[in-house]
Chain A
Amino acid sequence: MLIELTNCTLGYAKRPVVHIDHLALHPARCLGIFGPNGSGKTTLLRAIAGLLKPQTGTLRRAPNLRLAYLPQLRTIDPSWPMSALDAASMASSSLSLLGWVGRRKNAILQRLRTLAVDDLARRPFRTLSGGQQQRILLAGVLATDPQILLLDEPTDGLDLRSRDLLVETLRQSRQAGLSIVLITHDPDELALLADEVAHLHAAPDAGEPSHIEFATSGAPTQHSGLETQD
């Protein structure tokens, strides 16, 4: 087991956002997070990432866990001049003191080759299509050899072909042992990728945390699995 949350309430200041009875993330599995706006999907992702401490309960992580995050395309600022290789190098640059990639460059180029975007490496990142940009960023993130990959609506703004390519790459990475935590609004994406879906339901009373239903696979169209509301 890589990460386990038990009886956790997650939130900001004194405001609880989500309550979880039990959530476990295993190697080579994909956890989908699905729910309406404001239900706490990003809060849950931040807790899994270790960026938000639970207000109550326990969060256990495997030692020396390697996590990576795939940035959303809409948050990338195109006014920064950068090549596709610079964009792919961002994740690796976070791992060194000065941000230099040096010895990691070969691993990044190898991943770009694997995802068939190595011929774009010298091109300005902003001139590439959304699908190409997403594959460039994914190659860079995978080059850091993470155990868990966190994705927040990764196919947002992509055409159907680019989405299928990205999903297929993620499926292959999961088969190779990568764990994936995926926020999405797309039930098809969940059906294709997720082994388990955490469906967040906003609480009827303001001030109460959302609760989670788990479905073991496929789109969360039916309420099945564990009921974890307190």
Chain B
Amino acid sequence: MLPDPFFYPLLFTAAALAIAAGVTGTFVLLRREALVAMAVPQVVAIGAALSLRYAWPKLPPALIAVALALALLAWARHRKLDSLLPCLYVAGVSISFLIIANSGAHVNEMQNLFVGIDVAVTPDDARLVIVPVLIAALLCALFWRRWLLLAQSPTTAQLARLHPIAWQVLFLSMLGVVLLLGTNALGVVMILALLFLPAATALPWARRIPTALALAAVIGLIDVYLGFQLSNRMEWPFSHSVGGVGFAILMLSHLAALPFRA
């Protein structure tokens, strides 16, 4: 049964994010960048809080906040200041709420951004999100051999004058695009659910990276479809339904893999 056309922008956006987050999330897990992926949506929230407080357009402050955070992160990595990343996460959580403190309506809107309740996507929002996140995912997938080389033999990459730091910045930028637009459109819960759960489900089954990417994208789409159905039938929030379904599939996948591991 087809859903009400009213939901099409939401569903198409969620489907594009499922594909993009599945692809980028696979590399996030392999490159052990999960904490970066957790911190960026909190930084997006700072931009969103500024937009709410000063009635600015929604996206530019978030974009500037993410760009600044990623530049700070690249600098910290270069200086081997690993402690900055968890601090960035806490700063995002704290500062975003301080900006809109004592303004009741804005606090509710911020909470919606974090928990993803009452997700509403207009056709204009969908257009703004779908193409850039799919391009970011496509680039990320095309460069899979590059990410593999940089992870397994950075010296070989340096011999070929590939500059690992520049590639690190490129990866973080693509991840930043997916997280920024995903958080703005569907909230923190949805983007993190689509980033981690399908990739974590796919990786143990894949023998090669392209297979893992395709599998993660398909599992992400299944999570979105089943999450939407569950959300409609049970009148549960969409984001949390997707997260719940994704985690259930992850657990079932591990159970199904037990005989093979034994």
Contacts and interface: CB of A to CB of B under 8 A. Distances in A.
Nearest to B209: A81
B162 interface: yes
A49 B155 contact: yes
Given A94-B162, A98-B146, A82 B156 contact: no
B258 interface: no
B208 A94 contact: no
B176 to A, nearest CB: 21
A104 to B, nearest CB: 11
A87 B152 CA distance: 9
Interface stretch (A8-16, A67-75, A188-196): A67-75
Interface string B129-141: 0000000000000
B71 interface: no
B56 to A, nearest CB: 38
A16 to B, nearest CB: 22
B83 interface: no
A74 B91 CA distance: 37
Interface residues of A, number: 29
Nearest to A93: B145
Given A69-B159, A91-B156, A81 B151 contact: no
A77 B159 CA distance: 20
A177 interface: no
Given A82-B148, A86-B148, A86-B208, A98 B143 contact: yes
Interface residues of B, number: 25
B196 to A, nearest CB: 15
Contacts of A81: 203, 206-209, 211-212
A99 interface: yes
Interface string A62-100: 000001110100011101111100110111011100111
A187 interface: no
Interface of A: 49-51, 67-69, 71, 75-77, 79-83, 86-87, 89-91, 93-95, 98-101, 124, 150
The 7 closest A-B pairs by CB, nearest first: A99-B145, A94-B160, A99-B146, A71-B153, A93-B145, A81-B206, A69-B155
Given A69-B155, A82-B209, 8 more contacts: A71-B156, A75-B153, A76-B152, A81-B207, A82-B208, A86-B148, A93-B145, A99-B149
